Amino acid sequence: MLACDPAKRLSFNQTISNGDLVIVYEKHDSMKAVTASEGSILQNRYGVFKHSDWIGKPFGSKVFSSKGGFVYLLAPTPELWTLVLSHRTQILYIADISFVIMHLEIVPGCLVLESGTGSGSLTTSLARAVAPKGHVYTFDFHEQRAGSARDDFERTGLSSLVSVGVRDIQGEGFPDEFTGTADSVFLDLPQPWLAIPSAAKMLKQDGTFCSFSPCVEQVQRSCEALRTYFTDIRTFEVLLRTYEVREGKMESLHEESNGSNGSLPSKRRQCSDGNYMFSSTISTVMAKPSGEARGHTGYLTFARLKCL
Ligand SMILES: C[S@@+](CC[C@H](N)C(=O)[O-])C[C@H]1O[C@@H](n2cnc3c(N)ncnc32)[C@H](O)[C@@H]1O
């Protein structure tokens, strides 16, 4: 998921090797993660794809099946991983994730504490943000879920940047060994206010805090708890509006039969004032709001540790 040499950016020149994780992209709402393996095949509605054809090709390549269908082989970035990972819980998506990373001011080298880990969607982006020298310590009280997240971080090549612990953070707080060391703390818990005193204890002076909650009642209780230790408390709801860009037909009205559309066939229409207008149909690229746009996901409450 990350280039080994931090000086090199993941680029389209990087080639696929045997054992690499690849995002097989059919279209924006249809893709899956596949480990390229010499001798294996991928079968989908576009035909049969031999993995051996993928090996040695640059990420971003278009590859063809035996019956002429095609898919793209993309590098497994955190943005794409979030769209293909297996959902063991509700997850955070790109709009919230990017907002969290920006507002928490997470940069390479940061130490970040997180709970709950859930499906590791946010953790994956946190790991990339702190790489190559920082670290994310993430905790979930659900042992099996923590184990699956650990397996995923192995698979995505992030295990050196993330440690997964099994712990009841609402009941016990974060481990004492992190006291005063964290640049940022992120909570996605059902009762985050219970973990806020511990979060405050873990943060460095001026450290940043964020809590994600789907319900406003959770936000109210969290804000009450935050006021004891934190300043600059702000809550946001990120609403994303996506557009579909597609080719379509559009009617164009003009005053003359050979008006702005040159030689296109036009129909004559009489207007209410008795004058004639000409209409012709033209092909154009249009952007329209997507019908499947996501609405409310949750509220993000940010705060900064009070300086003593
Ligand atoms: C909604 S999920 C987190 C999803 C995650 N943010 C993501 O993007 O994939 C919430 C997680 O919190 C965990 N959790 C709930 N109560 C907890 C507690 N007291 N201590 C630690 N983890 C807890 C649950 O097991 C669950 O995995």
- For residue 300, tell me if it sits in a domain: yes
Ligand 1 midpoint to CA 150 (Å): 14
Give yes or no: residues 209 and 87 share one domain.
yes
pLDDT given for residue 195 in this prediction: 98
Backbone angles phi, psi at 220, to 5 degrees: -60, -45
- The residue whose CB lies within 8 Å of the most ligand 1 atoms, and thus the one to mutate among 88, 142, 187, is 142
Of 53, 76, 99, the residue that ends a domain is 76
Helix, strand or coil for residue 120?
Answer: coil
Give yes or no: residues 62 and 178 share one domain.
no
Count Cβ atoms below 10 Å from residue 28 Cβ, excluding itself: 9
Give yes or no: residues 232 and 251 share one domain.
no
Question: Which neighbouring-strand residues pair with 181?
Answer: none
Residue type, 56: G
Task: Report the domain count for the chain.
Answer: 3
Ligand 1 midpoint to CA 189 (Å): 5
Apex 162 CA angle, 157 and 163, nearest 5: 125
Helix, strand or coil for residue 283?
Answer: strand
CA distances 241 to 85, 212, 266, 287, 299, Å, are: 23, 20, 36, 12, 17
pLDDT given for residue 276 in this prediction: 83
Give yes or no: residues 208 and 94 share one domain.
yes
- For residue 11, tell me if it sits in a domain: no
- For residue 203, tell me if it sits in a domain: yes
Give yes or no: residues 201 and 257 share one domain.
no
Please classify residue 174 by burial: count the beta carbons closer than 10 Å to its beta carbon, then call 0-12 exposed, 13-18 middle and 19+ buried.
Answer: buried
Q: What is the CATH number of the domain that holds 56?
A: 3.10.330.20
Give yes or no: residues 101 and 190 share one domain.
yes
Residue 37 in marked binding region = no
Ligand 1 midpoint to CA 18 (Å): 34
pLDDT given for residue 262 in this prediction: 53
Give yes or no: residues 94 and 58 share one domain.
no
Q: Smallest Cα–Cα separation from 126: which of 96, 155, 151? A: 96
> Helices marked H in the chain — which ranges?
78-84, 94-103, 121-130, 143-155, 169-172, 196-202, 216-226
Query: Which residues are CB-contacts of 217 (< 8 A; sequence separation ≥ 6)?
Result: none
Closest protein CA for atom 16 of ligand 1: 189
Helix, strand or coil for residue 94?
Answer: helix
Ligand 1 midpoint to CA 140 (Å): 6
Give yes or no: residues 160 and 69 share one domain.
no
What residue numbers bound the domain in which 145 lies?
Answer: 80-239+295-305
Residue 273 in marked binding region = no
- For residue 16, tell me if it sits in a domain: no
- The residue whose CB lies within 8 Å of the most ligand 1 atoms, and thus the one to mutate among 89, 99, 112, 123, is 89
- For residue 271, tell me if it sits in a domain: yes
Torsion from C-alpha of 5, 16, 36, 2, nearest 10 degrees:
20
Give yes or no: residues 223 and 95 share one domain.
yes
Residue 120 in marked binding region = yes
Count Cβ atoms below 10 Å from residue 295 Cβ, excluding itself: 8
User: Distance (Å, rounded) from C-alpha 217 to C-alpha 227?
Assistant: 16
Give yes or no: residues 220 and 277 share one domain.
no
Closest protein CA for atom 15 of ligand 1: 189
Q: Smallest Cα–Cα separation from 37: which of 61, 20, 62? A: 20
pLDDT given for residue 11 in this prediction: 47
Query: Which residues are CB-contacts of 135 (< 8 A; sequence separation ≥ 6)?
Result: 111, 112, 161, 162, 163
Helix, strand or coil for residue 171?
Answer: helix
Q: Smallest Cα–Cα separation from 9: which of 1, 19, 18, 17? A: 1
Q: What is the CATH number of the domain that holds 88?
A: 3.40.50.150
Q: Averaged in consecutive runs of 10 residues, what is the pLDDT profile of the chain (308 residues)?
A: 55 80 93 96 94 96 93 96 96 97 98 98 98 97 98 96 98 98 98 98 97 98 98 96 86 67 68 81 87 84 93
- For residue 198, tell me if it sits in a domain: yes
Q: What is the pTM of this model?
A: 0.88
Of 51, 76, 101, the residue that ends a domain is 76
Ligand 1 midpoint to CA 291 (Å): 30
> E strands within the chain?
21-27, 30-35, 41-44, 47-50, 61-64, 70-74, 111-115, 135-140, 162-166, 182-187, 203-213, 230-236, 243-254, 267-270, 276-289, 299-305
- For residue 62, tell me if it sits in a domain: yes
- CB-based pocket (< 6 A), ligand 1: 89-92, 115-116, 118-122, 139-142, 145, 168-171, 188-190
Give yes or no: residues 32 and 62 share one domain.
yes
- For residue 44, tell me if it sits in a domain: yes
Q: Smallest Cα–Cα separation from 176: which of 105, 113, 109? A: 113
Closest protein CA for atom 25 of ligand 1: 142
Give yes or no: residues 178 and 282 share one domain.
no
Residue 121 in marked binding region = yes
